[in-house]
Amino acid sequence: MAVLVIVDDLIFRSRIVTAASHLPASIRLTDAASMPAARSTDDWQLVIVDLNLESGDPIALIRHLRGSLPSTPIVGFFSHVQVELQQRAQEAGCSVVMPRSAFVRVLPQLLLGELPPSA
């Protein structure tokens, strides 16, 4: 499973790398500023976006990704119950949007290609 992960938070980068190391998933970690290089390298089967990115606008990024990867699931996660951010991410094209706590719980399943319903 080829997974593009757009996250700047070092703790979540570490969690994702650790989870992926035990699974048959190939991940590419990047931040919003490095996206041009990541876009052209693979056919992504899943994209994970931290909705609290500091390196760029996650909503604009999701819109762009949805345009270039129309059938690829995009999962967004956010740090707290931010209803407006969740709604904006869904409108931009996120397949599933969830709080970080839920994301951590389902991360192994996500990396295996199992999408939960939107939280």
CATH code for position 77: 3.40.50.2300
Q: Whole-structure pTM over 0.85, yes or no?
A: yes
Q: Is residue 11 part of a domain?
A: yes
Q: Is residue 119 part of a domain?
A: no
Q: Is residue 118 part of a domain?
A: no
Q: Is residue 83 part of a domain?
A: yes
pLDDT tens, position by position, 42-97: 589 999 999 999 999 999 999 999 998 999 999 999 987 788 999 999 999 999 99
| Maximum distance among all Cα pairs of the chain, rounded to whole angstroms | 34
pLDDT of residue 41: 47
Spatial distance between the Cα atoms of 27 and 47, rounded to a whole number of angstroms: 10
DSSP-based three-state secondary structure for 72: coil
Average pLDDT over residues 4-28: 93
pLDDT of residue 36: 62
Distance from the Cα of residue 35 to its chain's centroid: 13
Q: Distance between the two ends of the chain, CA-based, in angstroms? A: 23
* Consecutive H or E run containing 105: helix 100-111
Spatial distance between the Cα atoms of 12 and 84, rounded to a whole number of angstroms: 22
Domain count, the chain: 1
pLDDT of residue 42: 59
Q: Is residue 117 part of a domain?
A: no
Residue 4: phi, psi to the nearest 5? -95, 125
Whether 100 contacts 16, CB under 8 Å: no
Domain extent at residue 46: 2-110
Q: Is residue 55 part of a domain?
A: yes
Q: Is residue 27 part of a domain?
A: yes
Q: Is residue 12 part of a domain?
A: yes
